[in-house]
Amino acid sequence: MTDISIEGGKALVGDQFAETSLRIAGRDIAKLGGDGDGRGAIGIDARDLLVLPGIVDLHGDAFERQMMPRAGVDFPIDVALADSDRQAISNGITTVFHATTWSWEPGLRSADNARRLLEAIEQMRPQLAADTRFHLRHETYNIDAEAKIIGWLAEGRVDLLAFNDHMDGTVGDMARPKKRNRMVERTGLSSEEFDRLVEHVLSRAHDVPASIARLAEAARAANVRMLSHDDNSPGMRKVFRDQGVGIAEFPVNEETAREAAQAGDHIVYGAPNVVRGGSHTGWTKASDMIAKGLCSVLASDYYYPAQLLAAFRLAADGVLPLEKAWDLVSAAPARAAGLDDRGVLAEGRRADMILVDDKVPLRPRIIAVIAAGRLVHLADASRLIHSTAPRKAVAAA
């Protein structure tokens, strides 16, 4: 059993920071408080460091860059997942939902790729440092996938189900040569084959609402939380909510976000939006939504460092104090996903936590990461007080 003492850190306990020590036994926090007695097999000196709950990432698809770093250049999924795990952990993400798009396209977002990724996650999960879960992003026009997804839901293989509709964007991008070329290149089809495929998919538009309803029913039966992506109106959000879809992911305007907030929905925006000072698509500015109480969760989206950086950016800009900003990347996403065993530092909860040096403004440095009670990342070995644990328990950065 892993036995770790975290001594002398400034820990986020409840909604405030307090100088305290923690004791970890096995996967859980065994003791919170006291001056630290160094009884752990591993002791970590956390003086001058922040001790924060581990980050929970509901939507991260940066792993796609490890699978296909350039269009048409593939790497094995197990290699990509292992590298993505190292990136997530080194950025403080202890629970990661790999947002896997299953589209009507061949190539990177094909049925075969979704299946292979799911199987790889299931097989590799015991080896990975982060608690790695499967977030299936279903393109709603991909009607042929419905039966298989319902089967996966019934078998307990899907951890989150999102409803995506990028069809309007696809049709619009077909008139823009650069974007069109990227889409076609990603699929591996010829330009003419791609046009015929889009035409066929569009011809089935009338079948989409009924397919969504059947999938939502299956997800409710399986107790799987659902998200709707890029809701563009209060009416659209309400249609999804009425089917049990309680998470609004990246609503595209304030009116829609406000309706979702008034209904008590979880509202997700991308942390890169906060770090960069706005959306790369020119849509809603996440920091404005946060200031107005219209965002409850920040996700890494396409950049794993973003959640950590965004929380400190919000604090530095005076949008939220750090303890409130941290809720957006830890406790709140845990609640949205139905994971009540993590996201906070409390006795009996899962021991997911990160130790952060925040001396340099806007550039927090992660010193150590503990996931499920295991020390999985250590950037400064001088912080070790003593260690009698097996060497394999410590993965140095």
| Predicted local confidence at residue 35, as pLDDT | 59
DSSP state of 396: B
DSSP state of 30: E
The model's pLDDT over 186-214, given as tens digits with 9 standing for 90+, comes to: 778 888 888 888 888 899 999 999 999 99
**For residue 192, what are its two tokens?**
């003419």
Please list, in sequence order, all residues whose beta carbon lies within 8 angstroms of the beta carbon of residue 209, skipping any fewer than 6 positions away: none
Contact of 370 with 353, CB cutoff 8 Å: yes
d(CA 225, CA 144): 22
Give the model's confidence band at 81: pLDDT under 50 very low, under 70 low, under 90 confident, else very high.
Answer: very high
Compute CA distances 7 → 31, 320, 364, 365, 391, whole Å: 12, 27, 20, 18, 21
The Cα angle at residue 349 between residues 345 and 350, in degrees rounded to 5: 95
The model's pLDDT over 302-344, given as tens digits with 9 standing for 90+, comes to: 999 999 999 999 999 999 999 999 999 999 999 999 999 999 9
Give the model's confidence band at 173: pLDDT under 50 very low, under 70 low, under 90 confident, else very high.
Answer: low
Mean pLDDT of the chain: 91
Is residue 123 scored above 50 in pLDDT?
yes
Higher pLDDT, 185 or 220: 220
* pLDDT, mean of residues 118-144: 96
Give the model's confidence band at 279: pLDDT under 50 very low, under 70 low, under 90 confident, else very high.
Answer: confident
Query: What's the pTM value of the predicted model, to 2 decimals?
Result: 0.91
Domains of the chain by start residue, with CATH: 3-53+344-393 (2.30.40.10), 71-337 (3.20.20.140)
| Predicted local confidence at residue 40, as pLDDT | 64
